[in-house]
Structure 1
Amino acid sequence: MSVYKTFYSRLLLNYIAGSLAAVISIASLIIFAFKEIPRNEYVWMLAVMFVSIAAMLGLEWAVFSRQIRPIRQAFHEPVGTFTEMQSIYLKTHRLPALTVKRIIGPHLFGLAVPAASLSLWLVSAGELSIPPYYVLLALLGGAFLVGMHALIEFYLTSHFIRPVLEEMQFQSLQLFGRELTLGGRVLISIKRKLRWSFFLIGAFPLLLYNLAVQFRLGDWNVDHSAYWKWAGIVLLIGLGFAFFGSRLLTRELETPIQHLYERMAEVKVGYLRTEASDLFSDEFSRLVSGFNHMLRGVRIQAARNDQLVESYFATLAAALDARDPYTAGHSLRVAEYAVQIGNLARLPKHVVDQLRKAALLHDIGKIGIPDAVLLKEGQLSEEEWEQIKAHPVLGEAILKQIEPADEMAAFLPGVRSHHERYDGAGYPDGLKGEEIPLFGRIIAVADAFDAMTSDRPYRKGMDAATAICILEKGKGTQWDPYFVGLFVQAYYEKQTS
């Protein structure tokens, strides 16, 4: 509550001070320009200013109350859902941009336009003797004052909302256990923000000075056309300098930010070999150096994590193979054959890596099969064969227990489906053709080849050529014809080379 009160009071104080400064500046400009007019015309002018200021304040208070309502709600009323809190959080972030609209709208349509309209009406009625185009010049000067006021309020509001946003984040964690975030959304680009800021800061004094001089030309007995012959050139040069200077300065700040953003986007998708280029000699050089230092640490940690994962998969495969000395090394060999097929199929590198890990663990479900069944040398009974056929489902169930679940998700289909047949006669789900997951179709070929060429206690492994012939005969029935074709072709090419 105290955070909101502090924020509200500062916002209100800044607005009042800024509006008074703008009104006083406009009034001073008018008094400076028309100090020779009769007293009764001053009364009319003061009346015009009073009516216009009253209209501005009424309009702006209505807009201000509407803009501040969601923030007040977050601190004075219970927020029921996280979605509602997130919406208020987003509206709070938008408040600086809304502040600009709140100031420009009421100042323009509540103060400047009514004041100019009333002044021109009084000139046409003969109550004011000032030249009509002076009113338009005053309107132009007022517009630039409003722009500067809006600029200052934008940055002050951006500063004052930060404690409010922090308090909202704290409330969200307390109430819903979730963190509020924009998720990287850009509500107003730094390019747009800085370009307008630099332009207004450069152009405002020049324009204000020219307007003030224009009002006093009559007292100095200077011909207006002669003045504007040189003043117009100076004004154009000054505005051009402010415009192009603002673009150059904005680009100077935007370029390193964009460069770092692009490197961060690469890191976000998992590319850790990138680094930010040391192209900048200001404070951005320190940011680049810090970013690269952090990234090197991330790469070291990622490499250690990869080593741990590799060791984890290899250990599981070795533990499985150690149960049966006659199948020792089976998982590693199946993984090698699967990788060979994946490379022949030109699968992406990361997919081949996932395929290798799935192949290493394809028989992990056999851990749940009793030794009496798994290591039996004779013919299996129907019940024992059903237990063996359960190992793909058991393997999937085992891997589902490993956290984080999303890291294991890619391996599950290959483990479950490596005994499916292309003609639909396999197990456990009887999938057919390309219904069978990609990893399952590849591992099935690799698994069959190693099983046929490995020695068993009840038979000696067949030679590779015979196994290749069996794979060829089973194309399109037991195994995927495409992957069998790749494997067989690679075998024959190796024999003839």
Structure 2
Amino acid sequence: MHSPAKREPTADRVYASFLNQLLRNYILGSTVAVLGVGGVIMFSTLSIPSNELLLLGSMLVVSLFIMLSCELFVFYRHLKPIQAAFKEPHPASNQLKNAYLQTHKFPTLSVRRTFGPHFLGLVIPAVTFAYLLIKLKWVTLPYYYIGIAAGCAFMVASMHAMIEFFLTSKTIRPVVTFIRDKHIELYKQDLTLSGRVLVSIRTKFRLSAFLIGTLPLLLFSLASQIRLDNIPMLSTDAYWQWAGIILVIGISFSLLGATLLSRTIEDPIHTIQNAMSSVQAGNFETSAADIYSDEFSRLVAGFNHMVGGLKEREQRNNQLLQSYFMTLAAALDARDTYTAGHSTRVAGYSLQIGRMGGWSESRLELLHKTALLHDIGKIGVRDAVLLKEGRLTDEEFDQIKLHPVLGENILKQIEPADAMAELLPGVRSHHERYDGKGYPDGLAGENIPLIGRAIAIADAFDAMTSDRPYRKGMTYERALAILEEGKGTQWDPKLTALFIASLGKGK
């Protein structure tokens, strides 16, 4: 029997599951925080008649209802961008992008709701009702207990906010995945935060560790104050002298622990981030220092393995690309046995010029590739013209003069479009003259691309010194003399001087 196919999650099911989980988190968390923690502290600490406890309990329930109403109102406002994307049969790209970002913000928004409608929605009515109950003498409590209760409520809200943050962070994952997949399906484009940090790890770890270590101490101290008020023989001042010391020590340890904990997470992340930045800049020699003994050691090892694979692939791609250029040049030279090796020799002479000029490695590499393919347009010239042994007619020479443009057009056909983009100016301009009398565009001086000016010199020198069916090649001395005479008219004067100097025939 065939097992039933796994059903793909639909928008309705993903959204319903997300909403239900969030509501369970909010309602359960709020109820436990207010009635559970708040109620236990209040009812176990206060020593008052049962009728007064009933009044305070009723006050707490009414405040809880107000709090939930305010919180759910804000919650549904925060939910609208996500709801809009899920309810639309064919959501627009911007709707999905807004929903994607809003979903990522939901953990932070849950903290805001906890300190906004959750905390204020509880404390404001509770403080008001408590004040009225004490003023009407329905409850016999000191007024300063209201302040202590508000402080305890803030601490409970802080712990609740932390718990909601981490619960919501887990709850949003299926939604983020669904929205991302939907955008790829509809618009063939991935969604990402592109490195944007909504909440830093430092903030999460330091606040969490601080709250975990500090709030229980504060809650205990405040609750103890109320409890000890019922023991007349104990001095309140003496209690707070003791409690103050304990609180300072506890808070100090919490801060220290939070700082150390966050650093153990931040340091390896920064190590990997720095290595990633180097790789993004094209440096595949980078590796992250494997100096950790926890799970980050696996992460660093995996990163280094990945970079090693990228380095190997880059080297292979460069070899293939270089072979590709050499093959194209060889295919062109094979059309005419008398010009065989011309492209390779021009590339070598061009590199001499570039090195003498102190060009960067990246520019030298571009120069070499361009020189190998500078005559690729001659593929489009008829053999009867290209291989003619005698003098060319004006019409035939006009056909030859088209090869720089033909070469540019041929390279433009190679995909991706940007693969050959940097080579095009040099291929098109290698027959321009410094005095503006060249072709195809009649450019002059430094308006001619630099690489084109360098190749023009190398191309002319190789043409002059190579044998042809109708003539024997010149000597180096004669060719260099012609170059010397043509400085500033046919060829770039500075580059020509560099080339002559590279062959030891000039100053």
TM-score range, shorter chain: over 0.9
Structure 1 contact 113–139 (Cα < 8 Å) conserved? no
Partner of residue 397, structure 2: 385
Paired residues for 1:360-375 under 5 Å = 360-375=372-387
Partner secondary structure for residue 286 of structure 2: coil
Identify the residue that residue 249 of structure 1 maps to in structure 2. Answer: 261
Identity between Structure 1 and Structure 2 (%): 52
Match of 2:22 among 5, 8, 11: 11
Letter paired with 1:390: L
Give distance in 1, aligned partners of 2:448 and 2:62.
79
Deviation at 1:234, TM superposition (A): 1.4
| Aligned twin of 2:165 | 154
Q: Is the 8 A contact 1:421 1:430 kept in 2?
A: yes
Deviation by residue 1:390-435 (Cα, 9 ceiling, x = unmatched): 1111111111222222222221221111112233322222223333
Aligned partner (choices 423, 427, 436) of residue 424 of structure 1: 436
Query: Which residue is 1:210 aligned to?
Result: 221
Name the CA shift for 1:31/1:466 in 2 (closer, same or farther; >3 Å): same
Aligned-pair distance for 1:79? 4.0
Cα contact 1:363–1:391 (8 A) shared by 2 = yes
* Residues 1:130 and 2:136 aligned together: no
The CA deviation at 1:11 is 0.8
C-alpha contact 2:214 2:250 (8 A) present in aligned 1: yes
Q: Describe the SS at the equivalent of 1:410.
A: helix
CA distance in 2, matches of 1:216, 1:43: 19
The CA distance in 1 between the partners of 2:120 and 2:489, in whole Å, is 80
Segment of structure 1 superposing worse, 216-225 or 238-247: 216-225
Alpha carbons of 1:237 and 1:473: their partners in 2 closer, same or farther (altered >3 Å)? farther
Q: In structure 1, how many angstroms separate the alpha carbons of the residues matched to 2:252 and 2:55?
A: 39
Moved more, 85-94 or 117-126: 117-126
Q: Where do 4+ consecutive residues of structure 1 move more than 6 Å?
A: none
Query: Cα offset for 1:80?
Result: 4.2
In structure 2, how many angstroms separate the alpha carbons of the residues matched to 1:195 and 1:470?
76
Q: CA deviation at 1:161?
A: 1.1
Kindly report the root-mean-square deviation, in angstroms, between the aligned alpha carbons of the 2 structures.
Answer: 2.1
* 1:84 to 1:481, Cα distance in 2 relative to 1, 3 A: farther
Are residues 39 and 398 of structure 1, via their aligned partners in 2, closer, same or farther at CA, if it must alter by over 3 Å?
same
Q: Which residue of 2 aligns with 1:264?
A: 276
Letter in 1 for 2:326: A
Distance 1:433 1:136, change over 3 A: farther
Q: Deviations over 1:273-316 (max 9, x none)?
A: 11121100111111222222222222222222221111111111
Query: 1:227 maps to what in 2?
Result: 239
Contact 2:378 2:403 in 1 (8 A): yes
CA contact (8 A) 1:399 1:412 kept: yes
Task: Describe the SS at the equivalent of 2:422.
Answer: coil
Task: Name 1:70's counterpart in structure 2.
Answer: 81
| Partner in structure 1 of residue 175 of structure 2 | 164
Identify the range of structure 1 (460-469 vs 340-349) with the bigger mean alpha-carbon deviation: 460-469
How many pairs align? 494
1:138 and 1:385 map into 2 onto residues whose CA distance is 98
Decide which moves more: 263-272 or 275-284.
Answer: 263-272
Deviation string, structure 1 residues 100-156 (Cα, Å, up to 9, x no partner):
111211122211234234434554565544233322222111111111111111111
1:89 to 90, 100, 107: 100
Amino acid in structure 1 at the alignment position of 2:388: K
Tell me, yes or no, if structure 1 residue 300 matches structure 2 residue 300. no
Q: Which runs of 5+ in 1 are unaligned?
A: none
SS state at 1:365 partner = helix
In the alignment, is residue 107 of structure 1 matched against residue 118 of structure 2?
A: yes
Contact kept in structure 2, 1:79 and 1:85, CA below 8 Å: no
Which amino acid in the other structure matches residue 400 of structure 1?
K
Q: 1:187, 1:484 → 2: CA distance?
A: 57
Counterpart of 2:250 in structure 1 is 238
Amino acid at match of 2:360: P
Match of 1:455 in 2: 467
1:323 and 2:335 matched: yes
Which whole-Å CA distance do the structure 2 matches of 1:280 and 1:424 have between them?
Answer: 64
Tell me if 1:394 matches 2:389: no
Q: For residue 474 of structure 1, what is the aligned residue in structure 2?
A: 486
